[in-house]
């Protein structure tokens, strides 16, 4: 959403460079460009911060699962084989990556479905009446 105005402004500035120079509006266009860049970077930083927040929360969930697996193996020390305990702990260690992958796939699918919904909504717009010259 924030990248589209930036790209449109850059494209319009390139095509209208001679007019911008003729009217001596270079500073105004640079100021607008900086504003669009700032808006885009703010959105990007917010997205990165949300991803890091989610990664930290998933790591905490993973730590809880690994701790539970280790405690279960320690409690059942005499009743389970050491190989089975090692397998349980190694699978528990891999759960964080699996959780992160599942969340990423789910959010990507939701984003793609938003695009499909938008295209579907645009395809259902009734056509305008034909232009008539009187």
Q: How far apart are CA 12 and CA 28, in angstroms?
A: 14
For the entire predicted model, the pTM comes to: 0.62
Distances (CA, A) of 76 to 66, 85, 92, 114: 15, 9, 16, 48
pLDDT tens, position by position, 69-111:
999 999 988 888 889 999 999 999 998 888 889 988 998 888 8
* pLDDT computed for residue 66 by the predictor: 92
Query: Rounded to 5 degrees, what angle do the CA atoms 91, 95, 78 make?
Result: 35
Residue 57 and residue 64 in contact, taking contact as beta carbons nearer than 8 Å: no
């Amino acid at each position: 959403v924030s990248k589209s105005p930036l790209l449109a402004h850059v494209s319009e500035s390139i095509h209208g460079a001679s007019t911008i120079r003729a009217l001596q509006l270079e500073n105004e266009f640079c100021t607008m460009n900086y504003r669009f860049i700032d808006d885009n970077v703010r959105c990007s930083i917010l997205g990165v911060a949300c991803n890091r927040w989610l990664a930290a929360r998933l790591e905490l969930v993973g730590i809880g699962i690994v701790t539970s697996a280790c405690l279960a193996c320690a409690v059942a020390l005499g009743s389970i084989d050491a190989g089975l305990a090692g397998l349980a702990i190694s699978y528990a260690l891999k759960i964080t990556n699996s959780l992160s992958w599942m969340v990423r796939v789910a959010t990507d699918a939701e984003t793609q479905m938003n695009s499909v919904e938008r295209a579907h909504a645009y395809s259902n717009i009734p056509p305008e009446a034909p232009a008539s010259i009187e």
